[in-house]
Amino acid sequence: MAIVASLLLPALGLLLFGMDRVEDWLTRSPRPPRRTGARHGAARHLRLIRGGGRAAATAARTGRRSSEAA
């Protein structure tokens, strides 16, 4: 019985420490968003093709596809 208790004591100590950290993490107030770059107010999205967003927006307005525009 004493062996089982001595083996469980470190595990329970780690569990108590971990739950304390999780509770502090969940109850803290949210941080303001980080503002990086010149366009920090703009929506962030991934651009895989250089100029792809402008070409797609132009094609959507004119109703053409890139293969028809050439």
**To 5 degrees, how large is the angle CA 12–CA 18–CA 21?**
145
Q: Are the C-beta atoms of residues 59 and 69 closer than 8 Å to each other?
A: yes
Q: Structure tokens of 55? A: 């070409």
Residues 33 and 43: their CA atoms lie apart, in Å, by 13
Residue 15 confidence (pLDDT) above 90: yes
> What is the pTM (predicted TM-score) of this model?
0.41
Q: What is the DSSP string of 14-55?
A: HHHHHHHHHHHHHHSPPPPPP--STTTTSPP----STTHHHH
Q: What's the rounded mean pLDDT across residues 17-35?
A: 87
Per-residue model confidence as pLDDT tens digits over 28-65:
888 777 766 556 556 666 667 666 666 566 666 666 65
